[in-house]
A = this chain, B = another copy of it.
């Protein structure tokens, strides 16, 4: 590592298309935040993991707030793509609900260490993020509650889920129960008995909402 000069020269031969470093920084930052949290990761860790110097990270993201905002924007877009895929699939509501829950399970299982939802981690440390990111968090919640509401409505219509639809408030509350369960379940499973525990919980949650 001491011969940074030769690293520099040899590095350029195998340089890849621009934009790659920035994405890699976001990838590592996301993994670090999902495993450790926002206040337990630093530009130092980030730079070491990616293989560039700390100051170079600032070239891509001026401040930590900028980094997190960019990261959340990407996360929101990714999640929206995944949920749209589920909503568009031609299966009944119960199956859609299962698939939606599996997004969280996959998050927990992916990577070397057990990860939580990025937005869940930011919610826990919400007092440490700037206002733009707080708005992004609320956006994530609104998006997901809308998706869940849609799924619950589908399931109620096709008879696979049992949700009382007479009250507009009721279905929104049910969506909130589901999202809360998934977010809380991730945190608990990560500290306790891992993906298996989470998976069992999801099964029970879906059963609670299923038609008898």
> CB within 8 Å of B: which residues of A?
35-37, 39-40, 113, 116, 120-121, 123-128, 134, 137-138, 141, 169-170, 173-174, 176-177, 179-185, 187-188, 190-192, 197, 200-201, 203-205, 208-209
| Residue from B128, B188, B205 within 8 A of A37 (CB atoms) | B128
Q: How far is the CA of A182 from the CA of B184 in the complex (A)?
A: 7
Q: Nearest residue in B to A140 (C-beta to C-beta)?
A: B191
* 5 closest residue pairs by CB, A with B: A184-B184, A124-B124, A173-B204, A39-B39, A183-B184
Q: How many copies does the complex hold?
A: 2
Does the CB pair A177–B208 fall under 8 Å?
yes
Residues B180 and A188 in contact, CB atoms below 8 Å apart: yes
5 further contact pairs, Cβ within 8 A, besides A37-B39, A173-B204: A36-B127, A37-B125, A138-B191, A180-B183, A183-B187
Q: Determine chain A's interface SS by DSSP, over half rule.
A: helix
Chain B residue at smallest Cβ distance from A121: B124
Q: Nearest Cβ in chain B — how far from A86, in angstroms?
A: 20
Contacts of A179 in B (CB 8 A): 184, 188
Q: Are B176 and A201 in contact (CB under 8 A)?
A: yes
